[in-house]
């Protein structure tokens, strides 16, 4: 029998778990390791899903099994049969606060994370106890017709809307990990903003912690209807402490005519994680889609937020920061596809490599036939902090029209002796000076973040920089 | 006893080429010293060596601040001990606002034992102080929000250096050609500013080609550097006063000096040939 409920079951992740958490006192539901049709049926059963979703998952599974691993990007050493694909979210909490390693607790303290949030981040508690605070906000949003819930709930409560848009932006056939996510997805956010409704505060910033959003294979779907506006903030800068080794999310966004969507992500994964995420948005006439994407930690991140501009006047902006330290490979970038005339895009990518870390910018600018008078500008800057570290740039440009303006600038720099000496001559230690230079390097992106995230981002850079100088 | 910066028989090499060949100089707090000399005579090298630039290797000699061995200290420790250098070519730090940088610097220098990550001077308090100094120096307050030296004009950079000096209030300041690249009015403004921010309470070493910068900061002593050593000094109790010698050099150049000190002049020529070869090789 594949499903079992057993007492005192360890989660079984010790072999990949850097901090050696143990849970001894809880009953846990989990599927067995590995992936096949039986597991997918179980997931569907557990969620009590409509049949169309079950069939969708099964189809995706076939695609996943048939597709090869990407031959580019980073090295993926994963045994797909050695992974748990479904753990009931409420059972994720398994350990006690006392068991959380000191290193993680210290980081929380340094970041100034409130007590209640710390426990959620450390996986001790599943839900942030703040329904009272958030309740009124939820009501306010609901009054405007905004739908905001986890995607599992959305499948049950808003089946028509979900079915209309789900997997239309990123079909399972897109890539192996999109197929994997489609087969086993769980959690994630569903947002629908009705025509003309403008939400003037960053959404997730107020609903900051929600364990269901932090799943392993979360699936997010955002629909911004005509003339509407939303800024969604995903994740947070605190170290994501999970016991799983693979995180593979799918984020689909539909930005309708003259609507605007900004999606901000700051992720700081533990060093054992493969973070292989597909994020894509489609933008219609006069719409604006902005991705702001910060990637820290993980063993390998492969993530290229993209914007498909489908109608005239659509715009796409992608700003990304990657920080690669020892044992880490950040293969991050962006894709913009101009499918209509008079569309414009901008990509700004900043990467920092230190202590032997490797960062790559991988980007695509594509201008389809007929997409005349398009503009696209790409700037990617890399900062390398020591000779052991590495940075690469892989810009792909495909243009099928004459009448377009496409610019690409790339720079690679090292922290200069003259900059260090200048700052040190003003009383800064070498470490402080390096940190200041790095913070300055990413400042153009950090200032786009909501205030509290910007502050945390800077503190995080400080933490990352500690001990990086002789 | 007043604070004293003492340079004793200092020899400095850059890329294994000797530049300074035995410099002796003592500066007490409250004194202004002018250091003049032709291009490439080693004036800026002296500044960098005192401040501790890693590219300038001290091969012999000592530098002491109140008897403390400065050469054993890192540049940031020297700064915290009360040393400051206004750069001839200030370095741009893109993305770092001048106000943030200076608050950090001032916090370290006023609390020399401050550890990384410990609290800075409260923002509000510091901003008040910064604006007051900027007003005094007739600098636009917008400067505080601009990135350190990033896209600054020559004049703006030099004024920003003086602003930093005003905030950090060092015991000893080295002004490395603060007048270079500035027009006459800008030099006068800089000169006046140095005096206004309390230059009189510091020990100042002004490295310059011209006497304009000295207008508001009359040097107690003027030193002439040639071929990596100080060959002539004017000041109280000597044949000529500091301002007299500075005025002479500004007006008549260094021919008399070269003639009077042939050995130093020969070293100067050798240094220039070497740097000429290095430049040719670099091209």
A110, A427, A443 ranked by CB distance to B79: nearest: A427
Q: Is residue A106 part of a domain?
A: no
Range in A141-155, A197-211, B175-189 with the lowest mean pLDDT: A197-211
Does residue A200 share a domain with residue A59?
A: no
- A-chain residue closest to B83, CA distance: A425
Identify whether the C-beta of residue A316 lies closer than 8 Å to the C-beta of residue A287. no
How close does chain A come to B205, measured CA to CA in Å?
16
d(CA A65, CA A184): 13
Q: What percent of chain A has pLDDT over 70?
A: 77
Enumerate the residues of chain A whose CB falls inside 8 A of the CB of residue B78.
Answer: 425
Quickly state the pLDDT bin for A237 (edges 50, 70, 90): low
d(CA A144, CA A198): 9
Query: Token pair for residue A34?
Result: 């590995």
**Cβ–Cβ of B85/A432 closer than 8 Å?**
no
**Cβ–Cβ of A419/B52 closer than 8 Å?**
no
pLDDT at B214: 83
- A-chain residue closest to B116, CA distance: A432
Q: Return the closest-CA partner of residue A340 out of A381, A368, A371, A369.
A: A371
A426, A436, A466 ranked by CB distance to B168: nearest: A426
pLDDT digits (tens, 9 = 90+) for B8-37: 999 999 998 999 999 999 999 999 999 999
CA distances from A307 to A26, A51, A261, A291, A338 (A): 44, 31, 11, 9, 8
For A:451-470, CB contacts with B below 8 A are 462, 466
DSSP assigned state of B147: B
pLDDT at B11: 97
Quickly state the pLDDT bin for A2 (edges 50, 70, 90): very low
Enumerate the residues of chain B whose CB falls inside 8 A of the CB of residue A440.
Answer: 93-96, 147
pLDDT at A452: 72
CB atoms within 10 A of CB B221: 22
Q: Give bridge partners of residue B221 from the DSSP assignment.
A: B33
Q: Is residue A143 part of a domain?
A: yes
pLDDT digits (tens, 9 = 90+) for B37-66: 998 899 999 999 999 999 999 999 999 999
Does residue A354 share a domain with residue A313?
A: yes
Does residue A267 share a domain with residue A222?
A: yes
Residue A313 has pLDDT above 70, yes or no: yes
d(CA A182, CA A248): 10
CA distances from A67 to A63, A71, A310, A395 (A): 6, 11, 28, 25
Range of the domain at A292: 115-416
The answer to whether residue A423 neighbours chain B at the CB level (below 8 Å) is yes
A417, A421, A440 ranked by CB distance to B147: nearest: A440
A421, A427, A441 ranked by CB distance to B80: nearest: A427
| Mean pLDDT of the A244-257 span | 91
**Cβ–Cβ of A426/B164 closer than 8 Å?**
yes
d(CA A447, CA A453): 10
Residue A26 has pLDDT above 70, yes or no: no
pLDDT at A189: 86
**Cβ–Cβ of B168/A441 closer than 8 Å?**
no
A422, A423, A431 ranked by CB distance to B116: nearest: A431
Residue A139 has pLDDT above 80, yes or no: no
**Cβ–Cβ of B91/A430 closer than 8 Å?**
no
Query: What is the total count of domains within chain A?
Result: 3
pLDDT at A243: 57
- pLDDT under 50: residue ranges of chain B: 283
DSSP assigned state of A121: H
pLDDT digits (tens, 9 = 90+) for A10-21: 333 333 323 323
pLDDT at A7: 36
Q: Return the closest-CA partner of residue A129 out of A120, A140, A138.
A: A120
Higher pLDDT, A13 or A156: A156
Q: Is residue A108 part of a domain?
A: no
Helix, strand, coil in percent for chain A, rounding step 5: 30, 30, 40
Residue among A350, A426, A428, A459 with most chain B CBs within 10 A, to mutate? A426
Does residue A439 share a domain with residue A372?
A: no
Quickly state the pLDDT bin for A31 (edges 50, 70, 90): low
Residue A89 has pLDDT above 50, yes or no: no
pLDDT digits (tens, 9 = 90+) for A406-448: 999 988 888 888 999 999 999 999 989 999 999 999 998 888 8
**Cβ–Cβ of A441/B116 closer than 8 Å?**
no
What ipTM describes this predicted complex?
0.95
SS3 B87: coil
d(CA A79, CA A85): 12
pLDDT at A137: 65
- A-chain residue closest to B146, CA distance: A440
Instruction: Please provide residue A162's backbone torsions phi and psi, each rounded to the nearest 5 degrees.
Output: -60, -45
Q: Return the closest-CA partner of residue B206 out of B58, B59, B55, B27.
A: B27
Choose which CATH entry (1.10.15.40, 3.30.300.20, 3.40.50.880, 3.40.50.300) describes domain B4-90+170-282: 3.40.50.300
The answer to whether residue A440 neighbours chain B at the CB level (below 8 Å) is yes
pLDDT at A464: 77
Enumerate the residues of chain B whose CB falls inside 8 A of the CB of residue A427.
Answer: 76, 79-80, 105, 108-109, 112, 168
Does residue A358 share a domain with residue A341?
A: yes
Of A73, A99, A125, the last residue of a domain is A99
Q: Residue A183 contacts by C-beta under 8 Å, 6 or more apart in sequence?
A: A35, A40, A57, A58, A60, A61, A64, A172
Residue A94 has pLDDT above 60, yes or no: no
The answer to whether residue A112 neighbours chain B at the CB level (below 8 Å) is no
pLDDT at B1: 53
Domain ranges of chain B: 4-90+170-282, 93-151
Inter-chain contacts counted by CB atoms under 8 A, chains A and B: 87
d(CA A13, CA A322): 27
Query: Token pair for residue B113?
Result: 């034992």
- Which residue is associated with the tokens 């694909």? A85
What burial letters (b/e) apply to A380-395, b meaning 16+ CB within 10 Å?
bbbbbbeeebebebeb
For A:223-252, CB contacts with B below 8 A are none
Residue A468 has pLDDT above 70, yes or no: no
The answer to whether residue A448 neighbours chain B at the CB level (below 8 Å) is no
Q: Give one DSSP letter per residue of B206-267, joined into a string.
A: EE-SSSGGGTTS--SEEEEEETTEEEEEE-TTSSS-HHHHHHHHHHHTTHHHHHH-HHHHHH
Residue among B78, B82, B93, B175 with most chain A CBs within 10 A, to mutate? B93
Query: Token pair for residue A143?
Result: 């009054």
Q: State pTM to two decimals.
A: 0.80
How close does chain A come to B227, measured CA to CA in Å?
25
Does residue A87 share a domain with residue A231?
A: no
- B-chain residue closest to A415, CA distance: B93
The answer to whether residue A109 neighbours chain B at the CB level (below 8 Å) is no
Q: Return the closest-CA partner of residue A99 out of A26, A7, A29.
A: A26
How close does chain A come to B247, measured CA to CA in Å?
31
Please give the helix or strand (H or E) that residue A234 lies within, else none. strand A229-234
Does residue A34 share a domain with residue A162?
A: no
| Mean pLDDT of the A29-44 span | 84
């Amino acid at each position: 029998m594949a499903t079992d409920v057993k007492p005192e079951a360890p989660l079984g992740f010790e072999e990949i778990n850097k901090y050696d958490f143990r849970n001894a006192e809880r009953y846990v539901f989990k599927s067995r390791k590995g992936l096949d049709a039986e597991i997918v049926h179980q997931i569907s059963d557990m969620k009590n899903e409509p049949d169309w979703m079950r069939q969708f998952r099964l189809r995706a599974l076939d695609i996943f099994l048939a597709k090869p691993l990407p031959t580019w990007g980073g090295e993926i050493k994963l045994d797909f049969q050695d992974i748990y694909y479904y753990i009931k979210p409420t059972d994720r909490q398994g350990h006690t606060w006392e068991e959380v390693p000191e290193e993680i607790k210290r980081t929380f303290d340094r970041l100034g994370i409130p007590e209640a949030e710390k426990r959620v981040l450390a996986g001790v508690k599943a839900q942030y106890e703040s329904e009272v605070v958030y309740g009124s906000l939820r009501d306010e949003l609901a009054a405007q017709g905004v739908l905001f819930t986890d995607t599992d709930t959305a499948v049950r409560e808003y089946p028509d809307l979900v079915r209309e848009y789900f997997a239309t932006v990123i079909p399972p056939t897109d890539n192996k990990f999109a197929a994997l996510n489609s087969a086993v997805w769980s959690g994630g956010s569903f947002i629908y903003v009705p025509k003309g409704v403008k939400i003037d505060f960053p959404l997730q910033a107020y609903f900051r912690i929600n364990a269901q959003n932090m799943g392993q294979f979360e699936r997010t779907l955002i629909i911004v209807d005509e003339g509407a506006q939303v800024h969604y903030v995903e994740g947070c800068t605190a170290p994501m402490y999970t016991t799983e080794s693979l995180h593979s999310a799918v984020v689909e966004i539909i930005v309708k005519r003259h609507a605007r969507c900004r999606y901000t992500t700051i992720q700081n994964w533990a060093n054992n994680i493969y973070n292989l995420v597909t994020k894509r948005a489609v933008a219609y006439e006069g719409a604006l889609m902005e991705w702001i994407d910060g990637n820290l930690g993980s063993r390998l991140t492969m993530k290229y937020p993209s914007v498909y501009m489908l109608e005239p006047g659509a715009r796409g902006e992608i700003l990304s920061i990657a920080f690669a330290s020892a044992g880490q490979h950040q293969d991050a970038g962006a894709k913009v596809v101009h499918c209509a005339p008079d569309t414009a895009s901008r990509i700004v990518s900043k990467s920092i490599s230190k202590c032997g870390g490797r960062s790559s910018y991988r980007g695509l600018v594509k201008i389809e036939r007929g997409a005349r008078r398009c503009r696209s500008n790409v700037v990617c800057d890399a900062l390398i902090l020591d000779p052991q570290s590495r940075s690469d740039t892989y810009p792909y440009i495909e243009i099928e029209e004459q009448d377009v303006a496409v610019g690409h600038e790339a720079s690679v720099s090292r922290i200069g002796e003259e900059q260090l000496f200048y700052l040190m001559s003003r009383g800064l230690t070498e470490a402080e000076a390096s940190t200041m230079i790095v913070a300055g390097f990413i400042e153009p992106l950090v200032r786009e973040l909501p205030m509290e995230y910007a502050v945390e981002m800077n503190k995080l850079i400080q933490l990352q920089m500690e001990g990086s100088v002789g | 006893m007043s604070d004293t910066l003492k340079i004793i028989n200092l020899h400095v090499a850059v890329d294994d080429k000797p530049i300074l060949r035995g410099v002796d100089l003592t500066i007490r707090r409250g004194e202004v010293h002018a250091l003049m000399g032709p291009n490439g005579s080693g004036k800026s090298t002296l500044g960098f060596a005192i401040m501790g630039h890693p590219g300038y290797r001290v091969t012999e000699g000592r530098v002491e601040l109140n008897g403390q061995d400065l050469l054993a200290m890192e540049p940031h420790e020297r700064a915290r001990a009360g040393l400051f250098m206004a750069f001839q070519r200030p370095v741009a730090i893109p993305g770092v606002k001048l106000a943030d940088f200076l608050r950090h610097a001032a916090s370290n220098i006023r609390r020399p034992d401050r550890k990384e990550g410990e609290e800075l001077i409260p923002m509000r308090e510091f901003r008040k102080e910064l604006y007051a100094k900027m007003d005094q120096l007739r600098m636009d307050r917008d400067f505080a929000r601009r990135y350190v030296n990033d896209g600054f004009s020559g004049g703006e950079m030099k004024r920003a250096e003086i602003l930093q000096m005003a905030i950090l209030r060092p015991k000893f300041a080295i002004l490395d050609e603060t007048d270079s690249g500035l027009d006459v009015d800008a030099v006068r403004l800089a000169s006046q500013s140095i005096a206004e921010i309390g230059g009189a309470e510091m020990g100042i070493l002004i490295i310059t080609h011209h006497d304009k910068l000295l207008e508001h900061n009359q040097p107690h002593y003027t030193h002439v550097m040639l071929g990596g050593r100080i060959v002539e000094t004017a000041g109280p109790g000597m044949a000529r006063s500091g301002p007299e010698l500075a005025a002479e050099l500004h007006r008549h150049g260094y021919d008399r000096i070269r003639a009077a000190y042939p050995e130093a002049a020969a070293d100067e020529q050798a240094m220039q040939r070497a740097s000429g070869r290095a430049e040719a090789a670099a091209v």
